[in-house]
Structure 1
Amino acid sequence: MTNLRQIFLDSNRLTSMIPANLLSMKDLQILNLSSNFLSGSLPLEIGNLKAAYSLDISFNQLSDKIPTTIGELQALQSLSLAKNNLQGSIPESFSYIVSLEFLDLSHNNLSGVIPKSMEALKSLKECNVSFNRLSGEIPRDGPFRNFTGQLFMNNEGLCGDPRLSVPLCQSNSIRRSSKRKVLLLVISLSGMAAILIIAIGALLNLRWLKKPKSSSGIELMSAAKYERFSYYDLLHSTDNYNESNLLGEGSYGSVYKGILSDGTIVAIKVFNLLVEGSLKSFDKECEVLKSLRHRNLIKVLGSCCNLNFKALVLKYMPNGNLEKWLYSHNHFLDMFQRINIMIDVACALEYLHYGYDAPVVHCDLKPSNILLDEDMAAHVSDFGIAKMFGQGESILHTNTLATLGYIAPEYGSEGIVSTRIDVYSFGIVLMEIFSRIRPGDETFSGDLSLKSWVEDSLPDALQVVDANLIRPEDEHFTDKLKCVTLIMKLALNCCTECPRERISMKDVLAELIKIKHQFQFLMTHTVRS
C-alpha cells in the first residue's frame, strides 16, 4: 500500500474522516477523494504527500481550517477543496506551493484576506475562491493580473480592481491628524484645485470648439476598458494595410499585424462590409467580447467604427493559430503541448458555458480560431456568430453558419444551438489535434468521417494517431499510446449524436486534467524505474 502512486476513490459514498495513515504515503502522486461524504478536518498529515501533484477532495463535508502544512506540497500542481464547509483564513503557506497551477477553494466558509504573497505563484493559472466570506483587497500582481471576476464572486467583503466586479478599496493611508493641519491643507488644496479646474475647463472648451462634428473612430465598447482608435491610427500602424502585414483572412474580413505609435504590436481585424453578414458579425463580437474576460479568450484592446469602416484591435498572438502548428512542416507540437492547448480551450469553453450570467455558445470552434501566445497558451477567438443566451434560456434556433466538419448534427440540420454544440466541436478538434487529419480530408466520404474512423480504430489508437507524435521505437511508446487512447475515448464522448448524452464542458476539463496527470505519472514512473 505504501508504494501506491495513484488513488481514485471519487464518486462513492465514503463517510467518516480522512484517515491520517492515508496521507502517510510519501510516493503518492494523485489522490482523488471527491464527491463523497467525508467529514471532520483536513489532517495536518496532508503535508506528508511531498510527491503529490494532484489532490481533489472537493464535494465533501470537511470543516475546520485548512492546515498550514499544505504549504509543504511543493510539487503540487492541482488542488481542489471546493464544495466543503472549510472555515478560517487562506494560509499564507499557499505561497510556498511554487508549482501550483489550479487552485479551487470555492463554495466554502473561508474568511479573512487573500494572501498577497500568492502573487509569487508564477505558474498559477486559476485561483477560484468564489462563494466564501473573504474580505480585503484582491492581490493585483503576478498571476492575479489575468484572473477574472468570476473567480472572486459572492465575497461581499472583497475589493480591488473594478474589472473584477468588486468595489474599489477605501484608502487607509490618511491617518488622524489635528483639525488645524487638516483645515490648512484643505484650504491650500482648494485654492490650487480651483485654479486647475478653471484651466482645464478653458482647455476643454477650446478643444471642443476645434473638434470636428464627425469622428473617424467611434468606440462601441466601454470606455473604461477599451481604447478608441481612429481610422488613421490603424492605417499607419499597418503601413496602409500592406500585404506583408497580413496575418490571415476569414469569411468576414482580414487580420493584419500592426504597430501602434507607442510600439505596441497588435492584431487588427478589419471587416469587409461588402460581405453580407459582416456588420452583424462585428456587432456580435463587440457585444460578446466587451462582456467577457478570461485568460484563454482573445483580449480585445479596442475598436474603430465609422460609416464605412469597422475594425477590432486585438492582442497580438506571436505564435499564430493552431491550424498552422498542425499542418506546417516547420512546426511541431509534442504530447504535453497538445494536451495543454486543449486544456486551455476547455477552460475557455467552460467559462463561456458556466462562468457568465447566462451561457455563451461560440458556435464555430476550429483550429484556425485557436490562437497561441508567446508561451504557447491557447486563446479562443472569432465570436462573430456566437450566441448569448438570455436568462433562463438553454436552447435557441438560428441559421447554421459554422464550418463544415465541426458542426454538431442538430445545429447543421435544424439550427438548434445549445452549449452541447461547442462540446461536439471540441471533440472533433480533440481528434484532429492528435490525429493531424482534418475532418474535411478528402479521404472521408459517404459514411466515413473523422469521428467514425477514430471510433472504428479503438482500442488501437495507433491507427489514427499522428505518426510524428508516436513511433513504436519511442522510449515511452506504451505510455503515450495509453494517453492518446484515453483522449480519443473522451473525444468520442463529446461527439455522441444525441446532445443530451454528450459530456458537459466541466467534465471534459476535469477528464483532460486527469489524463494529463496520469500521463505525467506514467512518464515519471518509467524514468524512475
Structure 2
Amino acid sequence: MKNYALCGPPRLLVPPCKNDIHENSQMIILHALRYGLPTIGVVVLLIVLTIMYRRCQSRSTTLPIKDDLLSLKRLRRTSHAELSQATNGFEESNMLGSGSFGYVYKGRLLDGMEVAIKVFNLQTEGAFRSFDIECDAMRNIVHRNIVKVITCCSSVNFKALVLDYMSNGNLEKWLHSKNYFLNLIQRVEIMIDVASAIEHLHNGHPTPIIHCDLKPNNILLDEDMVAHVGDFGIAKLLGEGYLMKHTMTLATIGYMAPEFGSAGIVSVKCDVYSYGIVLIETFTKKKPTDNFFAEERTIRHWMESSLPQGAIEIADVDLLKREDEYFIVKANCISSIMELALNCSAELPEKRKDMKDVVVELKKIKQRLLNNIKHV
C-alpha cells in the first residue's frame, strides 16, 4: 500500500514499468558500435544507462505466476457486512454445522458463488489462536483434496474464513445418517483422496504440517464425491529438523494417537494413526466412541481380534452380503484394507506406515478390485 515505486506486469495489479530506458540504452549501444564513437563521454553515458536499466529490470522482475496470484488471493479481505449479506444475517437455516470454535454457514457471494463461511466464536477459549493457526497452516496449501480458503475476514470482534462449499457434506453424514449410502468403490476412492491430502501435508512442504484432528466430520465431499480434508484449527507446523512437538491441545477422543492423548506428543505419525481409525470406521460403520468399545477394548483391538474370522464379521452389513455376486472379491478387498488400517494405527509410532506408502497400497487395492469386478 502507498509504495508508488512498485511496477510490473498488469497481473500483479501495479503500474507498468517504463521500458524507455531499456530501449534507449540498446539504441545507444548499437549506434556506438556502428559508428565507432568510443569517446569517454559515451562510455560514461553507457555506464549510467546500464546501471539505470539494471535497477529498472530488478524492480520489474516477477515471482512465478502461481505464487503471486495465490499470495494476492489469500491477502484479499472481505467485510462482516458482505458475509452477513451472503448468509441472510447468519440465519440459522443457513447453518451447516458447528464445531469447537464456532459455526459454519452456507452463503452466496455477490458474484453468485456458493461458499462455506466458518465464523469463529471469539468467546470460546482458543478461538483467536485457532483462527491464526488455520490461516497460517492453509495459506501455502494448494491440493485438490484439501479444502481451499477463498478469503477471510479479520477484525477485533469478528473473524471468519470463506471456504469452498462442499455440496455433499461430510463423511460422517454418509456413514451414519439414514438414507445415505456409499458403495465399496466410493469408500476406497474417498480414502485414497484423504490419504493423498495427508501425504501432501507431511511431505509437500519444507515444513511438515500435522493436521492433528482427522475424523469423518473433517472430511468433506464435493459435488463429484471427491474428498477434501478441512478444519485445520489445531494443526501444528513442525520446525525445520524437528520430528515431533509437544502440545497442551487435545484432539477428538477415539481418533487421537496414544502418545498424543497421554503425553501431548504430536508428529506426522499421529495423523497416520487417526487415518487408520477412520479407515476402520469407513468400512465397518462403527465409531471408535461407540458403547460397544469400553474400558480397555478399543476399535483397533476389536479389529485385530475380529479380522481373522473374515471380512463378513467386520464389514458394514450394507456393504458386504454373502449373496453378493462378487462376495469373495469384495471380502478380500475389505480384508486388505483392514490390514492396512491396523498397520496405520499401531500402538508405537515407529511401527506405523508412512502416508506415501498408504497411498500406493490403497491404489493397488483399488486396481485389483476394478480388475475383478464390473459393478461394485
Q: Do they fold alike, i.e. is TM over 0.5?
A: yes
1:340 maps onto 2:189 in alignment:
yes
Whether the 8 Å CA contact 2:121–2:127 is kept in 1: the answer is: yes
Listed one character per residue, the Cα deviations across residues 269-312 of structure 1 (whole Å, up to 9, x for unaligned) are 00000000011000000001111111100000000011100000
1:362 counterpart residue number: 211
User: Which residue, out of 327, 333, 337, partners 1:477?
Assistant: 327
Letter in 2 for 1:321: N
2:345 counterpart residue number: 495
Structure 2, gaps ≥5 residues long: 1-10, 13-26, 28-69
Letter in 1 for 2:208: P
1:246 maps onto 2:246 in alignment:
no
- Superposition map of 1:84-483 within 5 A: 222-459=71-308, 460-483=310-333
* Superposition deviation, residue 461 in structure 1: 1.9
Letter in 2 for 1:515: I
Distance between the aligned counterparts of 2:248 and 2:311, measured in 1?
Answer: 36
- Superposition map of 1:13-32 within 5 A: none
Whether the 8 Å CA contact 1:352–1:361 is kept in 2: the answer is: yes
Distance between the aligned counterparts of 2:215 and 2:257, measured in 1?
Answer: 12
Whether the 8 Å CA contact 1:400–1:411 is kept in 2: the answer is: no
Distance between the aligned counterparts of 2:297 and 2:101, measured in 1?
Answer: 31
Partner SS state of residue 199, structure 2: helix
* Superposition deviation, residue 226 in structure 1: 4.8
User: Which residue, out of 352, 356, 363, partners 1:506?
Assistant: 356
1:521 maps onto 2:371 in alignment:
yes
- TM-score, scaled relative to structure 1: 0.57
Letter in 2 for 1:469: L
Whether the 8 Å CA contact 2:73–2:151 is kept in 1: the answer is: no
Distance between the aligned counterparts of 2:217 and 2:271, measured in 1?
Answer: 15
- Post-superposition, which runs of at least 4 consecutive aligned residues in structure 1 deviate over 6 A? none
2:16 counterpart residue number: none
Distance between the aligned counterparts of 1:457 and 1:224, measured in 2?
Answer: 50
Partner SS state of residue 311, structure 1: strand
Listed one character per residue, the Cα deviations across residues 508-528 of structure 1 (whole Å, up to 9, x for unaligned) are 11110011011111215x99x
Distance between the aligned counterparts of 1:485 and 1:448, measured in 2?
Answer: 21
Letter in 2 for 1:439: P
Partner SS state of residue 456, structure 1: helix
Listed one character per residue, the Cα deviations across residues 311-348 of structure 1 (whole Å, up to 9, x for unaligned) are 00001000000000001111100000000000000000
Partner SS state of residue 371, structure 1: strand
Whether the 8 Å CA contact 1:423–1:503 is kept in 2: the answer is: yes
Whether the 8 Å CA contact 1:319–1:374 is kept in 2: the answer is: yes
* Superposition deviation, residue 222 in structure 1: 3.9
Letter in 2 for 1:239: N
* Superposition deviation, residue 367 in structure 1: 0.1
* Superposition deviation, residue 449 in structure 1: 1.4
Whether the 8 Å CA contact 1:226–1:301 is kept in 2: the answer is: no
Flag the structure with higher helix content. Answer: 2
* Superposition deviation, residue 223 in structure 1: 3.2
2:7 counterpart residue number: none
Distance between the aligned counterparts of 1:523 and 1:260, measured in 2?
Answer: 44
Whether the 8 Å CA contact 1:226–1:300 is kept in 2: the answer is: no
Distance between the aligned counterparts of 1:349 and 1:397, measured in 2?
Answer: 20
Whether the 8 Å CA contact 1:255–1:268 is kept in 2: the answer is: yes
Distance between the aligned counterparts of 2:112 and 2:146, measured in 1?
Answer: 23
Distance between the aligned counterparts of 1:362 and 1:508, measured in 2?
Answer: 17
Listed one character per residue, the Cα deviations across residues 95-154 of structure 1 (whole Å, up to 9, x for unaligned) are xxxxxxxxxxxxxxxxxxxxxxxxxxxxxxxxxxxxxxxxxxxxxxxxxxxxxxxxxxxx
Whether the 8 Å CA contact 1:238–1:258 is kept in 2: the answer is: yes
Partner SS state of residue 407, structure 1: coil
Distance between the aligned counterparts of 2:134 and 2:250, measured in 1?
Answer: 15
Distance between the aligned counterparts of 2:247 and 2:348, measured in 1?
Answer: 19
Letter in 1 for 2:234: I
Distance between the aligned counterparts of 2:147 and 2:76, measured in 1?
Answer: 16
* Superposition deviation, residue 448 in structure 1: 1.4
1:169 counterpart residue number: none
* Superposition deviation, residue 225 in structure 1: 3.8
Whether the 8 Å CA contact 1:246–1:256 is kept in 2: the answer is: yes
Aligned length: 309
